Chain A
Amino acid sequence: MKKQSKPKLAFFDFTDCEGCQLQFANMGETLLELLDLVDIVSFREIMSESAEDYDIAFIEGSITTDNDVLRVKKIREKAKILVALGSCAAIGGVNGVKNRSSLDAAKAIVYGDKGRAINSIKAMPVKEVVHVDYTINGCPVYLPEVVSVVKCLLMGKPYIVPDYPVCVECKMNENVCRYEKDQECMGTVTRAGCNSWCINNGNRCYGCRGLLDNPAAEAQKDILNKYGLKIEDVLKHFTLYNDSMGEKYDQEFK
């Protein structure tokens, strides 16, 4: 079989903390194996070179300025495959918090009286601006899932993001349910795929992977009530990641 040239892979960050790229960079030996399959041509965190010629674009971060919109559209034109990497790119993530107030108010909170000079639009997931071929949820991304997605895109297969709650994976891992410890947990309405990473390590689910397509919002409210948790307080935690899903969130939980 003729050895084909390897696809070129480039990373781009928008409004984010670059933590998902850091996860990628911290992949260890698997990253070396990956390099047998792809050439990384742009990746600010691990190399100083950067190239304008690429096949696969990994987009990290949400779209929050007019310039972001232009830039991501240009990347889309060049890239054969575009991947949304991490919560910010996939669902808007933490940046979505600003969508809860007016833009002017948000700018004033962050930049004070210089706010008016700042260009800022509502925080959006990448898919709201350009077509996304593959989505990797999570804050940060869960490396085994990243590897699965990379394999899929190299084989030309779709990657199906699970549409069942984190509880499914959590129970397979035989964790003691957070609710049984009288702690709130968003696993019940949050998309799985992370192998209940946080709960396995003694934490709770923050809902970073976004709402299920069909969350049982009413049943979830009953559960919070039953365990004596105040819905408003808990949902504040939930909006940490899901505010940019504004409409869906309102429709389900308000």
Chain B
Amino acid sequence: MKYATLQKTNLNDWLEYLKKKAKLYAPRKKEGHFVFRPVKEVEDVCLEYIPTILPPKKYYFPQKERLFKFSAQPFKTAKAIDTFDEFILFGVHTCDIAGIQCMDVVFRDGPEDPNYLNRKDKMAIIGIECLKYCDKHANCVSMGNHIPRGGYDLMMIDIGDKFIIHINSEKGEKLVKGVDFIKESTEKEMIDLERVREEKKKIFKEEFYAPLSRIYDSFDKSFNSEVWKDVGKRCVGCGNCTAVCPTCYCFDVADEMELNLNDGVRYRIWNSCQMDDFARVAGGEDFRKGRDSRQRHRYYRKFKYPVDKFNRYFCTGCGRCTRTCMAGISLIDTVNALAPVAIE
């Protein structure tokens, strides 16, 4: 079975079913915004949502994560590899799935990161394809992430009164197989799916002026551009943009002792290139002193460096950094200012 069909009236039944299978996380409302949360009541799950405040990365790369325990006397450290429980991320947008694919590339690059990979191993991803724009801040078409491009176990597409589910893995198949209200999709339903996708093409348009290759070239020439001075002047240095980014993966490592002052935990905690001291080294030298150079670094980490290293853009087009920025620094505007016209 490659495609299956779920009547919308059975959505909550399926959620109840999934809840029994593994720990289930899904988007829900929070004060006019959206967040991924563990599902308690299936009625709270909200599939029509704009990107959550934090991406689901908090479940496979938590804000603060224990690496191992240790004792000073007698000296002892536990094995630095944790095991985790099965969990399902439900209703993930294609932009956030692209984010997970980026993280995969980073954490699989040697030396592999066992914590990330062990969590990832226990994770099932059920995506949902967007059929309309979340808001004007998204640039998913330019990044090629507005349509499913793999990286998920199941993908749901809304075709009216039912969801077509694309089954993309064995793990995904296990979550629909044997569920009596999920049937193999009929030919007519597949035609409906084509129709929905055709409609979608009319709505989604390139958000950047220039194609990606030209944007990449413009980054090559823009290191000293005035654009960064302007962005740096407006930046308040709060680090929101990196916290909400589905592909920012920097972390710091620190030890925390218990009150007996003998046993402790080594943990890692999100860190950000937007912090004042991020690039400061012993002796006081700071490689990225101003907020302009720190913002520039963030953009180069999305549009230049990972392309050189992994042949992959690390902007997913989710628009979170723009949405969260109190100073109104817009990713689309910044990129368009660097690559204003698409000269062929």
Contact = CB atoms under 8 A, between A and B. Distances in A.
Interface stretch (A42-50, A118-126, A163-171): A163-171
Given A147-B259, A167-B240, A172 B270 contact: yes
A34 interface: yes
A176 B240 contact: no
Nearest to A172: B63
Contact of A176 (B33, B63, B73, B235): B33
- Size bracket of the B interface: 35 or more
A41 B54 CA distance: 47
Interface stretch (A57-65, A90-98, A212-220, A237-245): A212-220
B31 interface: yes
A163 B276 contact: yes
B33 A171 contact: no
Interface string A18-62: 000000000000100110110000000000000000000000000
A173 B239 CA distance: 13
B236 A151 contact: no
A218 B276 contact: no
Contact of B326 (A30, A37, A164, A188): A188
A180 B33 contact: yes
A155 B72 CA distance: 12
A244 B223 CA distance: 41
Nearest to B256: A148
Nearest to A148: B256
Contacts of A213: 276
Nearest to A213: B276
Given A168-B275, A172-B270, A177-B326, A219 B53 contact: no
B304 interface: no
B235 A216 contact: yes
Contacts of A171: 53-54, 238-240, 243-244, 324
Contacts of B328: 226
A223 B259 contact: no
Q: Which of A154, A168, A214, A226 neighbours the largest number of chain B CB atoms within 10 Å of its CB? A: A168
A250 interface: no
Nearest to B33: A176
A34 B259 CA distance: 7
B272 A177 contact: no
A179 interface: yes
A168 B235 contact: no
Contact of A219 (B54, B270, B277, B327): B327
A190 B57 CA distance: 27
Interface residues of A, number: 39
Nearest to A150: B259
B32 interface: yes
A232 interface: no
A211 interface: no
Interface string A138-173: 000000000110010011000000011101100110
Given A177-B326, A226-B328, A30 B259 contact: yes
B343 interface: no
Nearest to B36: A174
A228 to B, nearest CB: 13
B30 interface: yes
B233 interface: yes
A177 B276 contact: no
Contacts of A164: 237, 239, 272, 275-277
B61 to A, nearest CB: 12
A220 B243 contact: no
A66 interface: no
B291 interface: yes
A136 interface: no
Interface in B67-91: 73
B261 A177 contact: no
B128 to A, nearest CB: 20
B26 interface: no
Interface in B214-246: 233-240, 243-244
A189 interface: yes
A181 interface: yes
15 contacts: A154-B261, A164-B277, A165-B239, A168-B238, A168-B272, A172-B64, A176-B53, A180-B32, A188-B236, A214-B276, A216-B235, A216-B236, A219-B233, A223-B236, A226-B327
Interface of A: 1, 30, 33-34, 36-37, 147-148, 151, 154-155, 163-165, 167-168, 171-172, 174-177, 179-181, 187-189, 212-214, 216, 218-220, 222-223, 226-227
List 8 A-B pairs, minimum CB-CB distance, nearest first.
A167-B238, A171-B243, A219-B236, A172-B63, A216-B236, A176-B31, A33-B259, A168-B239
Interface of B: 30-33, 35, 53-54, 58, 63-64, 73, 233-240, 243-244, 256-257, 259-261, 270, 272, 275-277, 291, 324, 326-328
